[in-house]
Structure 1
């Protein structure tokens, strides 16, 4: 598969969402072939009744996150928590990537003006999926006990390195 453009090219919400796809009538869609999402697992850990702490990672401004970035952050959080507190947490991904990202591929180099159609048909082909988030929307949620709070903070700090944008940790007991 071809390399995708950097996240900075699609993280700003500048245009309308583009997510119309139907299983029943695929030929009547704006999107003929829906790209697969990298994010497949949403619930991890053990959901117990005795958890007294609920911690979320919230966005600080509107942003669009690609599914592969969400999957990388999910994996790094889950692996860290599984090592530090196995069976002592419940972790949930709260967003789903619906929005289709399009790319208009251009030929570059000598003689490219004769090969490429330029911007005349510049709508673009679907290359991936992204989740559109508003300001303050939670991305991840972890339930655990209060003694595990430093471990949860470290897990969210590790996840921030995989996501573009700025986030804050919100604690609810």
Structure 2
């Protein structure tokens, strides 16, 4: 049983979870711009959840754990979510990603790699006042080590609309969203991820 808008709904235990469009890329790779355009074009309602916004509340790593649990909570309540994240191949990043896999491997997650060349990342970083110099380079050198995604897009080589269209196309084929399950299986078998 669930309560939705104040009404008790019986028989919701097996309802489908909210879909998660999980965008992973460095800062300045275009995830926020992409998310905004997706919110305009998606046929269903989605909510936007950014790790940057979450971390502004209190810049401690444990808030990233709370962020992972927030994604799980929203999806578990049938709320579709676009997640804007930076999963790094650092010890803490691997720990947080492991927790993320534990929480979300049985959710409908479309895992999207958001790429951009380093030179363009650094140009974008210089143009923004809310970025620390060198952040893009550090993240560029410490991201995507697990190398398993459902979709890869390049925000420099592709137009914004082409990126959105690629996501919308695979969004229509949830049977193709296997990255989180695959990564979880690799993790369980003891394979190093990242």
Same fold (TM over 0.5): no
Which structure is richer in relative contact order (CA contacts within 8 A, separation 6 or more)? 1
Higher helix share: 2
Which TM-score band applies after superposition, normalised by the shorter structure?
Answer: under 0.3
TM-score by length of 1: 0.26
